[in-house]
Amino acid sequence: MNAINIFDLPKTPFPEELVTILAQSSTVRIERIVSSGQVSDWYDQTEAELVVLLEGYAVIDFDNGKRISIAKGDTVLISPHERHKVSFTSTNPPCIWLCVFFN
């Protein structure tokens, strides 16, 4: 296996989020997601998601009206079926997310 540097980024801007699956099994998936101004539609996931924002800042809205702003180093645990969406991601610096999805 080759080593990768999680902070190696393509030149910005890029039109879509960049998703790299770092590891996965039948019960766990670990992704690096890079976003630069992109936002999302609502997610309603069957698995739990542990989010660590390694760089940048972002806003996550939840279906229950809760809104959280997160910055570099912040961690959020999202429960299964906790509807949420990303409503803002920074562009300078871009967001680097480490996301762990698990059952």
Provide the pLDDT for residue 75: 98
Domains and CATH numbers, the chain: 24-102 (2.60.120.10)
| Surface-to-core class of residue 21, CB atoms within 10 Å of its CB (0-12 exposed, 13-18 middle, 19+ buried) | exposed
Provide the pLDDT for residue 9: 87
Per-residue confidence in pLDDT tens, the chain, 103 aa: 688 899 998 776 788 999 999 999 999 999 999 999 999 999 999 999 999 999 999 999 999 999 999 999 999 999 999 999 999 999 999 999 999 999 9
CB 84 within 8 A of CB 43: yes
- Predicted structure pTM score: 0.92
Provide the pLDDT for residue 12: 66
